[in-house]
Structure 1
Amino acid sequence: MSVMGSEEAQMGRGAKTLLSPAGVAGRIKAFLGDKSDQSVAQRMAGAAFVIRVLSAGIAYVSQVLMARWMGGSEFGTYVSVWVWVLLIGHFANAGLASAAQRFLPAYAETGDEAGLRGFISGARRLGFLIATAVAVIGLAVLWQFGAWLSGDMVMPLALAALCLPMFVLTDIQDGIARSYNWTDLALGPPYLIRPVILLATMAGAHVAGFPTNAVAAMACAVVATWLAAAAQFLLLNRRLGREVAPGPSRIEPLTWLRTSLPIFLVETFYLALTYTDVVLLKQLAGPEEVAVYWAAVKTLALVAFIYFAVAAAAAHRFSEYHVAGDREKLADFLRASIRWTFFPSLAATVVILALGKPFLMMFGPDFVAGYPAMFVVSIGLLARAAVGPVERLLTMSGHQTACALIYALAFGTAVVLCFVLIPPLGMMGAAIATATALTLESILLLWITTARLGLSLGFWSRPATA
């Protein structure tokens, strides 16, 4: 009895020690000092999540203010045009942003320093040139066919084209920085600096008495995009100067594009699926309903941020393990990344849905109409979270074509369902279409990963062996 009592006393003292400030500080210090791949990835994912949450707070405040300054119709027009910037901007990088997380770890693993230096400089120039060409083509199309569009869309779309070159440069620099675990430099400029500049310039225009319409908002977006990209460029070059020794470089644009273009197809369908509901809702319903639906979807953004954060930390690790042929680490890291995605996403969904109405009321009383759509969209987000960043694993391991086909099918499903469901159901039809497409995508990704790689996505089970 005395021995048992002594052991219980020791356990009690141990628990108190762990819960004491010194114990908590010690565990935090040990976690921050742990150099293992999973700990580094967890810290990257945590940093990415914090940045996205801060960004969401800034975006939420700015969108609430802009909705009130601009009114529902102008705000809906601005949202629709900015969605086109996001879509075309991510397309115009031709997959080079994600390819950075495949090539840079591979060059480092094989000791190919000339290839490493060549990609760091050459991919950015190539992406900028491609985006500039796309912007020029877009302006030419507007010049010739702008009369076919509604008058309130032409000038905002022309300003959107001016965003593209630096938007693409930011994307590619994001991929380079992630490959070196520099989450702050990867995500800070596009998700913190850019929205702060946008809000500040728009607030300045409002206080100065300038018209606060979609044209003004897009002009502010041009300024924010260029300044954020320039700041990221300078900071990235400074940090790379300490990591990459000077020397000869090898530029291989055809090699990069042969790999990046299939990844580009994956991202094309992925992003098209992400924004199809908003784009088609604008065409089939109207700007006021787009504004309400956009607010509802943005309120759920915290769930998507978790997925984004884990994917940001995982892609280059998948590439590294695949190049090294370390199947055991690959399987362990995959299961861990799914755990990091699903359980926080589930908890966030419960909290957000519980507080959804007060959040929507911040936009205005009419925006509460989007609350039911939040429940439907959350089903699709949880389905995606249940398989984690598995599409990054597929693209980093040479299965990007199969992944692209899956996203193409999911995108086609979303388009068909939007055309069928939005006319009778409005924003609820868009929500059903999105949730259905996301669920289909997740099921197919689960199947292809098991069939092609022989890996189990069930984080509670041991990986299958090929």
Structure 2
Amino acid sequence: MTLNRLDTLYHMVRTYGAYMAALGVRALEMVGKLGLYMIAARVLGVHESGLFFLCLTWVLLISTLTRAGFEKAVMRHVAAELAIRKGREARRALLLGTFWVTLGGALGTAATILLAQPLAVYVFKEPDLAFPLAISAAAIVPQTLAIFTGHALTGFTRGVLGQLVQNGLWPGLTLAALAAGVHSLDGILYALAAANLAAALLGVVLIWRDRGRLRIDDPNADAAAVEHLPALWRTALPLGVVEVVQITLNSLPVLLLAAFGMPSEVGAFSVANRISMLVWVVIISIGTIAAPKFAAHHRQGEWDELRSLNRKVRLTVAAFGVPVVLAMMVFPASLLALIGPGFEIAATALVIMSVGQLVNCLLSCQDIMLAMTGHGGVLRWLNAAQFVSCCVLCAVLIPPFGMLGAAIATAIFIAQGGIGTTLAVRRLMPRAL
């Protein structure tokens, strides 16, 4: 066997080993989230579990708003600068991003506390939601920092650790609190905040251990760069819009259903929606590992390597994700029954949403490709089109059809995202597809 073949074999084993490790972390996340949803639903009942999922949705929405895209901007800048040994520039991006997301998280926390009562009474028409919503504000800054440090670690090519910090740790820790006897809604929300805080602190420690790479400065670095990076905020702005739109897409059907339906419907639909999004466990785990390599290959003009990596990513996602989607289509009621009695009412909704996720699974990770190669503006317009579709579909379908209307809207705009980003990559970077 020649040295070139050995080198190719080594890189294949290393790449797929990283994918498997990432999937292992996501499997930990999946077990933690499913266990958390199941036990929380059984302990709280359909009504209070609906309030819990509303609070969880709100925390995710506000955390995304307060990060404003800086987490993905920092991931791209750190990966691209370290690829050509510009450690000081990577450090500058990391510190600037940390400042802005921390400030944003603090503002989001204050706004949630102040608006909890009017939101509960006038928007969701559920006065019992006010106090839990105010408590959930405690999770906003910790979750914001956990997700930010996770993305930063991915920029350091520590994608597996990054996913552990931003997604893998907090569900398990919150589930452990339930297993230890925390069975009230308020207690679960406090446990959620503490779990995210622990994840954020772990992220800070891991970045600190890797700080030596931020001191490296190659005087010939500019000569190795094919692409010059814009200011951090210019990278963050379109990506921030994308992130806000994406979390809005996931949150809007739940929030509108809460405004027009009963908490029991919200609880059942939220569980079905989260089960359908398990395919994202596969997509994000593999895409996150590939993201810094997308940025590095693009900056160095390595088109053959970029195309090869993109194809491997899509194939791997399809191999692991399609069976998950098929299970949702074939056994929807059984999966929902695992959560608790009464959730089977969302079985048809789960089947509908899994159709959209199937398209998303087969056309995966092209949004990450656009984000990591400087096409955040295009991604922003694609997401704006998704947002318009989501608003129109939800407004038309949810009031008359309730849960099924929310499921149909969700399936359509999810499929739209996969199709749109793939067509954009084909048009803008045919050599990468």
TM-score by length of structure 1 reads 0.82
Counterpart among 100, 104, 107 of residue 133 in structure 1: 107
Q: Is 1:196 paired with 2:167?
A: no
- Preserved CA contact (<8 Å) 1:45 1:310: yes
**Paired letter, 1:56:** M
2: CA distance between counterparts of 1:334 and 1:64? 36
2:193 paired residue number: 222
Give per-residue Cα distances to partners, 1:92-134, cap 9 Å, x unaligned.
1121211122101221233322112223333223321221122
Distance 1:102 1:184, change over 3 A: closer
- Cα 1:356–1:107 change in 2 (3 A) is same
Deviation at 1:146, TM superposition (A): 6.6
1:423-456 deviations in Å (ceiling 9; x for gaps): 2322111111011112222222222222222347
Count of residue correspondences: 414
The 1:338/1:147 distance shift into structure 2, 3 A limit, reads: closer
Distance 1:161 1:110, change over 3 A: same
Gaps of 5+ in 1: 1-29, 207-211, 248-253, 458-466
User: Does 2:289 correspond to 1:313?
Assistant: yes
> Which of the residues 101, 113, 117 maps onto 2:87?
113
For the aligned residues, what is the CA RMSD?
Answer: 2.5
Corresponding residue number in structure 1 for 2:208:
237
Query: What letter is aligned with 1:185?
Result: L
Quick one: which amino acid aligns to residue 221 of structure 1? L
Q: Helix, strand or coil for the counterpart of 2:143?
A: helix
Which blocks of at least 5 consecutive residues in structure 2 are unaligned? 1-5, 218-229
Match of 2:393 in 1: 417
Name 1:399's counterpart in structure 2: 375
Say if 2:163 and 2:285, in contact at 8 Å, map to a contact too: no
Q: Quickly say closer, same or farther: Cα 1:366–1:140, change in 2 above 3 A.
A: closer
Match of 2:345 in 1: 369
Q: Which amino acid aligns with 1:271?
A: I
8 Å CA contact retained: 2:282, 2:321: yes
Give, as a single letter, the amino acid of the residue that structure 1 aligns with 2:389.
T
Q: What's the counterpart of residue 25 of structure 2?
A: 51
* Displacement after TM superposition at 1:85 (Å): 0.7
In 1, Cα distance between equivalents of 2:116 and 2:92: 36
CA contact (8 A) 2:59 2:139 kept: yes
Alignment match, 1:209 = none
Q: Hey, what does 2:225 align to over in structure 1? A: none
Structure 1 runs, 4 residues or longer, greater than 6 Å off: 143-146
Conserved 8 A contact 1:194-1:224: yes
Q: Which of 38, 45, 58 is matched with 1:84 structurally? A: 58
2:304 to 324, 328, 331: 328
| Amino acid in structure 1 at the alignment position of 2:130 | V
- 1:65 and 2:39 are equivalent in the alignment: yes
Who is 2:127 aligned against?
151
Q: Tell me the distance in 1 between the aligned counterparts of 2:407 and 2:397.
A: 9
Match runs of 1:278-297 below 5 Å: 278-297=254-273
TM-score by length of 2: 0.88
Q: Which has the larger radius of gyration?
A: 1
Higher mean Cα deviation, 71-80 or 299-308?
299-308
Structure 1, 423-432 or 136-145: larger mean CA deviation: 136-145
For 2:308 and 2:278, how far apart are their aligned partners in 1?
26
Q: Distance in 2 between matches of 1:311 and 1:384?
A: 13
What fraction of aligned residue pairs are identical, expressed as a percent? 22
Partners in 2 of 1:370 and 1:389 — Cα distance?
28
For 1:344-359, list aligned pairs within 5 A: 344-359=320-335
> Whole-Å Cα distance in 1 between the matches of residues 45 and 297 of structure 2?
51
- Contact 1:101/1:319, CA 8 A, preserved across alignment: no
CA contact (8 A) 1:338 1:387 kept: yes
Q: After superposition, what is the alpha-carbon deviation per residue over 1:167-209, rounded to whole angstroms, capped at 9, x for unaligned?
A: 1111111111112332342122343331222123334444xxx
In 2, the alpha carbon distance for the partners of 1:360 and 1:418 equals: 23
SS in 1 for 2:231: helix
Pick closer, same or farther for the CA change 1:44–1:277 going to 2, 3 Å.
Answer: farther
Deviation at 1:286, TM superposition (A): 2.0
Letter in 2 for 1:81: C
2:226 counterpart residue number: none
1:23-62 alignment, distance < 5 Å? 35-36=10-11, 39-62=13-36
Matched residues in 2 for 1:115 and 1:34: separation?
Answer: 34
Shift of 1:371: 1.4
Pairwise CA distance, 1:422: 1.8
In 1: Cα distance, 2:112 partner to 2:15 partner: 39
- In 2, are the aligned partners of 1:46 and 1:309 still within 8 Å (CA)? no
Q: Is 1:408 matched up with 2:353?
A: no
Question: Which residue type is aligned with residue 316 of structure 2?
Answer: W
CA contact (8 A) 1:421 1:433 kept: yes
- 8 A Cα contact 2:87 2:216, kept in partner: no
- 1:199-257 CA distances to partner (integer Å, 9 max, x unpaired)? 23334444xxxxx443332222122222221233223312x14544489xxxxxx9211
Aligned partners of 1:241, 1:368: CA distance in 2, in Å?
A: 49
What letter matches 1:42 in structure 2? Answer: Y
- The aligned counterpart of 1:441 is 417
Could you tell me how far apart the structure 2 residues matched to 1:226 and 1:232 are? 10
* SS of equivalent residue, structure 1 residue 362: helix
Q: Is the 8 A contact 2:353 2:407 kept in 1?
A: yes
